[in-house]
Chain A
């Protein structure tokens, strides 16, 4: 990263401070007004103090895990390497390309909306959230572009600012909302003490402020948010050395912004790759958090190389040549970086398929579904509450025994460690001693997983050779559930 890049980051940080100060000021003034209306002339001070307290509390919450509040609000799930190795691999690649240390934590959001966002303070605890729909629809190059864009945000310290700003914005909205409630309930001490006219004027003023303050705070917020998108796009092009990836991902995402937009929170909107709430067709408008997607795609597509300077040049080509770009100093500081060719895709898109399957599995696991794999290729996901013992494959008609509760994992040795022996190279479902269903993906290459229920470590003994040739070790191994749950019952009887 060049020195000028740091310059741009510093600019960001400075702007963030101003913004947060301004939003805070709006909140405090609003608080003072509320106090004045409710308690009379002496109340302004109380209102001011009250607003300061709220502001302070919000800041404390933000710095001590505000991202968790946001995560909780959006309902995202953290994934580990063993959950989705192929998705993890893409993130890891980009982390290395961006020299980001430590790597960000990755969360998956359920739903068909296609988007990604990142948040957290500093690079230390940065989190990237991608939606299920995004991972399932994008090819590897496209996904890489989107992840690189988010990592660009983290690298440029946008993420810290965005998280802080959205929490501050929430504070102002909170105070304004309180105002409106007070208005609805009618009154305060002043209404009794003073004439009706004064009261009406004050109420109108307060009503106006409570409506305008969040709007004003929002505008300030947006003004800083838009330029960051271009910087993150440029970063993505540089990290991937393949601008087309992000361009085609943006095209895919914007062409149909998912089935539901209500899934996303308004406050989170500026953090997404593409604005999930509004249309992105044309014009800049005051309320836009993102520059028009079409413009971003055009800039990315007209890049001759993949460096900062290339992005800067493309920007001037597409937009007004006289306008200030990301940072004029960048152009001089760096030579053009050559693009890489698109990565080779396997004929049937097996890689994309596999990644998509991993992501689907993450949510199956959460719903406690048991996986029954039929030889015909169909995978049947049986809900835990399924009442019958047998199930017929609708594709080939063969019957499968539905796995019954009972541990597949055995304690071994004196330390009581749990062991599961893999029976195939495919997807596997097994039950831990605690009864919870755990899944193993085909791409899993780790020697240990943690049970989702009891959080105990389970050692995974990898599959060797054909299961038909391997002699069964009834008491020491976990039997595959689809076929052998009867055998398992026998074992437990034998044990007793």
Chain B
């Protein structure tokens, strides 16, 4: 593993993801240099939409392991798992280290070490209640000019 990742910077969200137009739900487009970077930015997008990340300290770590038959399913499972930990433990990450193994044209395994803090309603501001990570318009693709792109629809 290379240099220790910095905590996510909400000021730099325009480089990680963008909100696309959708009449009711939260539809995002995410970018990454490679698959680990793409998955990490998708996690950032989820937490960034749920809470004001500036107020969170790094106090505990949570490890999530998921796998899926393709990058799409794997990405959805990863986000869904993070959402479950948010809903049941109030855990919000502000940085992550990801280990991604992908077989060509096949299954993907992800181990994500998430670093963050449990919500404290006196100090933290929560923004949007994400109900679920849907399968709808779920895409992960490699750009012809390099890098990766994903779209994810969150039910809110």
Q: Do A and B come from one complex?
A: no
